Structure 1
Amino acid sequence: MKKALMIYGGWKGHEPKECTLAAQKILEDSGFETVLSDSLNSYLDNELMAWADLIVQCTTMAEITDEQAESLIQTVKSGTGLAGWHGGLCDSFRNCTEYHFMTGGQWVSHPGGDKVSYTVNITKPQDPVMAGIENFSHTSEQYYLHVDPGVDVLAETEFSGEHDGIDWIKGVVMPVAWKKRWGSGRVFYLALGHTAKELEIPQIQTILKRGMLWASK
């Protein structure tokens, strides 16, 4: 049986506990044993970290100690998977650049707030994570990220430049989902999932499920 450590916390606006419970159900329905924690000190529990095949994190902003970050980074590098969505993975620990190096991206803006309608374009329809999923429309935050050019982009979106007077980003194409490697570990990220309700959308739920399974090998 695969095992997942699920960490949640940080900014309450992203419904970290509710989102993590939704992801927990996805994993348990897929045969995983899970442990939930609202403390980053779980990253210092060597036995727990060695137990997990997958770490799922939903912690927006917040702060991480050097010791906590080093344990997480080395655990993933040694072969444990890491997966997450939206700000819970790629707007965490803004001062920890090594963490950003591992995840492959960092949020910087969402022009227009959470009412923007845009298209998610599937760039790798042949990838098992995206198989059978067609381009789809979504209304929520459209994440503008600083992204590692080495990530394997699975889906992307294009900015219209219509929001917040930021017309100069019109036509910018931004990754929405990606895979990457970190040492022997696999990292999966999905920029969608602003609230727990969004994780119920069939395409988002399927992408997240498959991405977490991929990361866990």
Structure 2
Amino acid sequence: MSRVALIVRGGWDGHEPEQTTDSFVPFLEANDFTVRIETSPAVYTDEEFMDTVDLVLQINTMSTIQSEEFAGLQRAVLRGAGLAGWHGGIADAYRDNADYLHMIGGQFAHHAGKDPGERTGEQSDNYIPYTVHITELGTAHPITAGIGDFDLETEQYWVLSDEYNDVLATTTQEVRPWDAWHRPVTSPAVWVREWGAGRVFVSAPGHKLDVVREPHVRTIIERGLLWAAR
């Protein structure tokens, strides 16, 4: 009997919510999921349907969620549905809902940019080279086992988080002459969190389609989806 994956996508187009989530539909179907795609969190209020959902893949950057919509999502996770996503689609969604932020365990705060003298006003102003470091916990976790540290050139998320997260990978924001901070700051890059009977998986890397296609990121997300699912 196949499981049910619900994709909720939308928000800021710059994160390519349709293209990035579409790229994982064949993977989910190959792993025996029936996939439903929605463009609004309103589906979370459909209690009868949400009781059938085994995995919620949410990519919905800088959007809003109504109290009854969040209640439906939280109920599903507490009862065992997995919740997964990447980048701003999960870690920069529903900023005004504290209970959502509590459940996710991390909130985007900043991405360091290039030297101000090199900026052109494009998204690429925030693309910098950085390394994703697998933690000791990550070396043994099924999502990141066998994956070594790897380099990316994309947005590097500074994430506000708490110690309840199981952090599988980190990244460190260095200090450049034009930055406001005075020492390097390490943030989670990949983390998981158990919430009620459900599991939460977040990958901070995933800005656009080219990033989720990067082999290390792709493997981590695919494993994360399967790990989170009921």
Q: TM class by shorter-chain length? A: over 0.9
Matched residue, 2:210: 197
Q: What count of residue pairs does the alignment treat as equivalent?
A: 216
Alpha-carbon offset, residue 19 of structure 1: 1.1
Matched residue, 2:189: 176
Question: Any conservation in 2 of the 1:114–1:139 contact (CA below 8 Å)?
Answer: no
Question: SS state of the match for residue 63, structure 1?
Answer: coil
1:115 aligned to 2:127? yes
Question: Any conservation in 2 of the 1:81–1:216 contact (CA below 8 Å)?
Answer: yes
Question: SS state of the match for residue 161, structure 1?
Answer: coil
Amino acid at match of 1:171: P
Matched residue, 1:92: 93
Once superposed, what is the RMSD of the aligned Cα atoms? 1.3
Distance 1:29 1:136 in 2: 27
Percentage of identical aligned residues: 39
Question: Any conservation in 2 of the 1:118–1:137 contact (CA below 8 Å)?
Answer: yes
Distance 2:65 2:44 in 1: 10
Question: SS state of the match for residue 35, structure 2?
Answer: strand
Unaligned runs of 5+ in 2: 114-124
Alpha-carbon offset, residue 167 of structure 1: 5.1
CA 1:18–1:202: 2 relative to 1, 3 Å? same
Question: Any conservation in 2 of the 1:60–1:89 contact (CA below 8 Å)?
Answer: yes
TM-score computed with the length of structure 1 as normaliser: 0.96
Deviates more, 1:39-48 or 1:147-156: 39-48
Distance 1:22 1:186 in 2: 22
Matched residue, 2:83: 82
The ranges of structure 1 where at least 4 consecutive aligned residues each deviate by more than 3 angstroms after the TM superposition are: none
Unaligned runs of 5+ in 1: none
Matched residue, 1:136: 150
For residues 140-182 of structure 1, the C-alpha deviation after alignment (integer angstroms, 9 at most, x for no partner) is 000011112110000001111227x225253211110001111
Kindly report which structure 2 residues correspond to 1:62-77, keeping only aligned pairs within 5 A, or say none. Answer: 62-77=63-78
**Structure with the greater alpha carbon radius of gyration:** 2
Question: Any conservation in 2 of the 1:121–1:136 contact (CA below 8 Å)?
Answer: yes
Matched residue, 2:103: 102
Matched residue, 2:117: none
Amino acid at match of 2:196: G
